[in-house]
Structure formats: structure tokens, C-alpha cells
A and B are shown apart, each in its own frame.
Chain A
Amino acid sequence: MKVRVHVSLKPGVLDPQGRAIQHSLEGLGFAGVNDVRAGRLFELDVEESVSDAALDDMCRKLLANMVIENYRIEKVTV
């Protein structure tokens, strides 16, 4: 089973990298970009037997830092 885990900064957490990317886009002449938030994507290949609860646990214990980040689990159907 393919699983994608999207990790993003919580609202209100400053993202200096996102801001630098936004400035760079402006510098390239792209108008109208109001904000950029940089996140992370993990692609996991797991056995079918791995439970949703276990996936949730993986996110909370390692893939995301719950102090500053949110996560979203997406099961990819081939």
C-alpha cells in the first residue's frame, strides 16, 4: 500500500523559508503570490496489514513535530 503523508507548518508558525520562496517568485516576475508555506511530503510503502492507527502513530511520533506541524495521511490507490 502506498501512503503519502503531507506535513505542513501550523497556521501562525513563522515560515522564513516560505517567505524567501515567495520573494524569489516575485523576483522572477510572478505577480499575485500572496503567501508561500513550505511543507514536506513522505511517500511510504507499507504492508496492507498496517493499521490506520499505526500510521497515525508514525506521524505523531516521528514524521511530524506536533508542536509546530500538522499532518495529513493520504492513501494512494493505484
Chain B
Amino acid sequence: MAFNAAVVTFPGSNCDRDMVVALEKVSGVAPHRVWHGDADLPQGLDFIALPGGFSYGDYLRCGAIASRSPIMQAVIKAAERGVPVLGVCNGFQVLTESGLLPGALLRNAGLDFVCREVSLEVANAQTLFTGGYEAGQIIRIPVAHHDGNYFADGATLDRLEGEGRVAFRYAESVNGSARQIAGVLNNAGNVLGMMPHPERAIEATHGGTDGRTLFESAIRGLMDA
């Protein structure tokens, strides 16, 4: 069965094409492109990706307007049915704003836009998205964001850590994130939000291929299921 994925484009998304290319290169199948104003997703999706960018110009709060768009109501319903959803960068912000993931992403502690490759620790290698990594493995993935400073109250952070819902941590100082969190999962484990861009590290010409494993893990996990 062919891998059936969709990439959502909001006005101001700018990593949607990178996400499409990554999914196609790794799965061999071109994903559907979905527009923010669409009310429905294609039938029978295996995977939904919310890309990076500056949806709606980051008006109000990053991801806030996008999370209230028509397509997001369909994405929320699909996520609740168990369809895997990956949100990268602005996509992560959309996921926290929509309530699919806990916490919020604040302005970087240093106030600077951070755009460079960073070291991440794979905090949980037993998730749909990280099964191809080793626990504790250090990987190199680019970040490019102004508002990636993960915040949640202490009880929520304890719960996320206790339940293995921290997928990735920064292995270096990047943006002031609580407990160095770079990526978190929902309770069911089918929704992952992360600030670093795995889709920008899938070919040697990108300077590294550590992001490719994430897509391979998810696609293999879903196709074997």
C-alpha cells in the first residue's frame, strides 16, 4: 500500500515544499498538498505534516491564527482518530496553539532569531517518529526560529518527562527552552511537535542526513503496521 501523506500550507508557510520533497524522497510517493482554507483532508491519510514558516505573518501569536483555520479543525479530528501528525517549527507552534500539544512557545530567551545547525539528544527512541534512532543518540539538525522557547508549568513538564513524551532535547544552549525540550509528543504518541527541521537534513548535500531517520522511522512504522 502506498504511503498517503498530506502537507498543509498556510498563508506564510515557507517550509511546505521542503516537507513535500522530504516525504516524497523518503517514501517514494508525492504527498497531497492541502490549503489552509480547505474544510476536509484527503481520505485515508497515513500522515499529516504541518510545515515551518510564518503562518498569517505570526499575527497575534505564532501559530495562533493558523490553529483556528478551517483545515485545522479537520487535522484536530484526524489526530484524535490516531492519524500521525508532525509539526515542525511553526507547525509545532500551531500544534500547541490548537491544544493538540501541551505548553507554549515563547520568544527565544536571548531575543535573537537562531538559525544554525544544533545538536539534539534523542530523549525517547521508542516512538513512531524516533524508532530508527538510539536512545541518547546525539544528532545534528538545523533550527531557524525566533519563538522556540518551550514553556509549560512544572507539573506538565514532570508529566511529559515521566511519560516519555519528550522526544528530543537540545544538547546545547539554543533558546532557553524549559528542560532543554526541543520536541514533545501528545499523550497517545501520534502527534509530534519539534522546533528543529528534520526535513532540512535528509540528503548529504544538506550537510547531514540525521533528519532522514525520523521520516524513515515513521514511514516504516506505519507501512509495517
Contact = CB atoms under 8 A, between A and B. Distances in A.
Interface in B151-180: 151-153, 176
A65 B64 contact: yes
Nearest to A68: B104
Interface residues of A, number: 12
Nearest to B178: A14
A14 B149 CA distance: 10
Interface residues of B, number: 20
B16 to A, nearest CB: 24
A16 interface: yes
Contacts of A17: 107, 111
Given A13-B106, A20-B111, A62-B64, A67 B152 contact: yes
B110 interface: yes
Contacts of A12: 153
A16 B103 contact: no
Contact of B109 (A16, A61, A62): A16
B111 A67 contact: no
Contact of A16 (B61, B96, B153, B176): B176
Nearest to A42: B60
Nearest to B96: A67
B196 to A, nearest CB: 20
Interface string A44-74: 0000000000000000011101011000000
A67 B103 contact: yes
A12 B97 CA distance: 19
Contacts of B103: 67
